Chain A
Amino acid sequence: MTDPAASVLSADAVCVTYRSRNGAVQALRNVSLAVATGEIVVALGASGCGKSTLLGLYAGFARPTSGRVLIEGAPVTGPGPDRAVVFQDDALMPWLSAQDNVAFGLRLRGMGRPEREAVARDLLREVGLDGFADHAINEMSGGMRQRVGLARALAVDPRFLLMDEPLGALDELTRERMQVLLLQLWQRSGKGIFLITHSIEEALFLATELVLFSPRPGRIVQRYRPTFGRRFLAGEPLRAIKSDPEFLAMRETLAAAILSEEEEGLARG
């Protein structure tokens, strides 16, 4: 299914070991995972299973202890605007308006004010915040802030979007609306998305590739290729997909897998 012209962001047999007071802790063991443009790779798993560590490697915030992280075949040496990050806690600049937040990355490049404001306004419209350009961040709800964060990441036109539980703090309805928005933006832009979540439903609905992580040491234990997101974009109604027996069956399979991994982890100590 991968387009031959696609760019690839890949982790290649990476291990990450932290030194802590109780000796060495292995956050990631031998993880290989590639994100191609046009794909949504979702990492699912309990907290502390290394998903965020992997995102940090992709983003260039940290280096692997061993193994390689490559973007289009070249090693990742640090953060850069080809891999924009969306955070769970929006990490916006609260002293800037919504529009100036979205334009922040363009300002860093020295783009002139009228140009970047035009780009920012277009993006705010695209994420459904038309008319909120001059609003202060602390006047906005959590869902609106996440939309601003998403627009800010899109403004620098990255090839990859790295999203660390971007919808984790939102209520159920807002969350579903954001999932739909994310799928639509993804379809229009063809970006490669790496998304971390705790929610099985969210993972199934969004992913083109779903990887299940297990903790201590963090590693990938299962890989799936759900098609529900593409079915939704092809016109199937959301409620029909989420009550489809196949969707429900996969949800149960994943829940059971997570539970058994957790129990195994506890047994291992």
Chain B
Amino acid sequence: MDNPSRGAGWASLATLAVIVALWWAVTASGLIAPLFLPGPGAVGLRIVDLARNGFVGASLWQHAGASLARVGLAMLFAVVTAIPVGMAMGLSRRINAALDPLIEFYRPVPPLAYLPLIVIWCGIGEATKVILITLAIFAPLAIATASGVRRVDADRVRAARSLGASRDQVVWLVIFPSALPDILTGLRIALGVGWSTLVAAELVAATRGLGFMVQSASQMLVTDVVIAGILLIAVIALAIELVLRWVERRFAGWSGTR
């Protein structure tokens, strides 16, 4: 009856309702011209229209699919490289000393600052975008993995060794699962960074993708497409976040209570 989490859910919905109501009020009353801010109804209709007819030579699904494919591919590359690299850094002080300066050097640089360099090297094709996102995801994921490995309880490792574990068994049956919650949190943060980097990259050089769609619409002053695009970008980011939270609960749920 007095469920606090349900109360919290209502509060979030109330905020959403107030914002949509204000949005509707200022547009329906003519206070703000549709060129600057179309009403919720117009944007809703535009989303339906985008889904049916697409925009600038590609359907909405092709735009969204292009963006998701880039992020998905980059995530795949980053996972198969950054997690082993992070594990090695966490396990070996020497490997950490060798790689840490490199990662710490490029990590704080905004990806869009080195995008021009990647464009010069690799052109404006798909490779450039995937490389950019992979780089953006790689650093936070490798760092999270390494710190997760370093935080593993020493007694847990000793317990495994006294039960007869080999070095490889310690790494894969004790250290990796112990670090998994940190790895998944790192992945969640990294994908957030990756998604925002991607959309920004598509504003610069692309012929397809949600960022490109928003950019073209703004040049043509089709404001309802701009807003629809922004909403879709946010909704997809939220969906990615929720999926990864589910993955965390499913595979690392034990860590929250300890």
Contact = CB atoms under 8 A, between A and B. Distances in A.
Contacts of B162: 59-61, 79-81, 83-85, 162
A114 to B, nearest CB: 19
B12 interface: no
B155 interface: yes
A87 B257 CA distance: 20
A13 to B, nearest CB: 24
B164 A91 contact: no
B218 interface: no
Most buried by B among A60, A89, A95, A105: A95
Contact of B161 (A79, A92, A138, A162): A79
B155 A79 contact: no
Contacts of A105: 163-164
A170 B162 CA distance: 24
Interface string B154-175: 0110111111111001000110
Interface string B241-258: 000000000001011011
Given A94-B258, A137-B254, A138-B258, A81 B164 contact: yes
Given A59-B158, A108-B173, A95 B163 contact: no
A138 B155 contact: no
A95 B252 contact: yes
B177 interface: yes
Contacts of A108: 160, 163-166, 169, 173
B153 interface: yes
A138 B257 CA distance: 7
B138 to A, nearest CB: 26
A232 interface: no
Contacts of A6: none
Interface string A82-101: 01110101011111000000
A152 interface: yes
Interface bin, chain A: 20 to 34
Contacts of A93: 156, 174, 177-178
Contacts of B163: 81, 84, 104-105, 108, 152-153, 156
A2 B174 CA distance: 38
A91 B165 CA distance: 15
Interface in B18-76: none
B155 A156 contact: no
A57 B36 CA distance: 75
Contacts of A87: 155, 158-159
Interface in A138-164: 138, 152-153, 156, 162
Contacts of A95: 177, 180, 252, 254
Contacts of B255: 94
Contacts of B169: 108
A141 to B, nearest CB: 13
A63 B90 CA distance: 25
Contacts of A79: 158, 161-162
Interface in B214-258: 252, 254-255, 257-258
A136 B164 contact: no
A109 interface: yes
A136 B257 CA distance: 11
A159 to B, nearest CB: 13
Contacts of A91: 153, 155-156, 158-159
A104 B165 CA distance: 9
Nearest to A89: B155
Interface of A: 59-61, 78-81, 83-85, 87, 89, 91-95, 104-105, 107-109, 136-138, 152-153, 156, 162
9 contacts: A78-B161, A79-B162, A85-B158, A91-B155, A105-B164, A137-B254, A138-B254, A152-B163, A156-B164
Given A81-B164, A93-B156, 15 more contacts: A61-B158, A87-B158, A87-B159, A89-B153, A91-B153, A92-B156, A93-B177, A93-B178, A95-B254, A104-B160, A105-B163, A108-B160, A108-B169, A109-B164, A156-B163
